[in-house]
Structure 1
């Protein structure tokens, strides 16, 4: 199978909508942060796999910014797309929206950036296509990815230095 050399950012879109039930929530009646983080990683991995057309692994979760609580009874929608690609790595943006189903009120509940690495059949990093932004939002996400990648590299180096203290 020949791999593509480039892919439109919109082709990497993955969407998941779920109803928030009481077992998904804490004693405040809001969605557990850890459950949302697992859902974010899941939908981001789907977007990354669609892009790479190979196995992927999560290399980092750069951020999960919780903006508004998601309450029991709400619908929660996660939208993921690849925003930047390197040789074998890619950045995935996830937007989380909550909707009060009785009123139709929608809010941005969380935003997240993750990094994935594509793996070949041998389990080693494998090349990915170029990502092609098309909308104004996509161009902004792609353009600002370089700044996030630099921050990610600095943070990883600091984490590696910190890990030396725990040997």
Structure 2
């Protein structure tokens, strides 16, 4: 069954509260990452209607600070699919609630894997982009997927050289 990007779209707006702020008086990056992953996981679940796991946060680019006077608008949707994996794009917009101005504050690409009832990778439907933005992101998705596979192999090679214990420094 084929799906459109619109079928997977999630939009959420939230305020920035004092406990979300870091020592620079901007939104704490870890809070933003948590929200990005949560919204992206909903898009992934809407895509395949099964359990999904985050396989990677391929890139998160913080483009401009998010201030206490801002509302944060998250928009996520599936942009590209493989056999059992899907790429989810998240766009974060900051809206200055006192001035009414908006700007893109961050972008992120995440990869999710669909799981069957036994926890094994499950096939996902294909995605059909419709808007200019969706078409562009879909067209460039295969290139990002190749980069992910290369980076994952490099991460596995690095992990094989690392110890799982703690070493004491003298």
User: Per the shorter chain, which TM-score range?
Assistant: over 0.9
- Counterparts of 1:24 and 1:52 in 2: how far apart (Å)? 32
Counterpart of 2:140 in 1: which secondary structure?
A: helix
Q: Is 1:58 paired with 2:40?
A: no
1:15-164 pair list within 5 angstroms: 15-164=11-160
- Determine the C-alpha separation between the residues in 2 that align with 1:97 and 1:135: 19
TM-score, normalized by length of structure 2? 0.94
Q: Please state how far the C-alpha of 1:118 moved relative to its aligned partner.
A: 0.5
SS at match of 1:82: strand
Given that 1:21 and 1:73 are in contact with CA atoms closer than 8 Å, whether structure 2 keeps it comes out as no
1:6 pairs with 2:30: no
Partner-residue secondary structure (3-state), 2:98: coil
Between the aligned partners of 2:72 and 2:4, the Cα distance in structure 1 is: 26
Alignment partners' CA distance in 1, 2:22 and 2:155: 30
Structure having the higher Rg: 2
- Counting matched residue pairs gives 163
Q: Is the 8 A contact 1:88 1:126 kept in 2?
A: yes
Q: Output the TM-score relative to the length of structure 1.
A: 0.96
CA distance in 1, matches of 2:127, 2:77: 10
Q: In 2, distance between residues paired with 1:9 and 1:140? A: 12
Q: CA RMSD in A?
A: 0.7
Structure-2 separation of matches of 1:114 and 1:106: 24
Measure how far apart 1:73 and its partner are: 2.4
Structure 1: gaps spanning 5 or more residues: none
Preserved contact between residue 74 and residue 98 of structure 1 (Cα < 8 Å)? yes
Q: Secondary structure at the match of 1:79?
A: strand
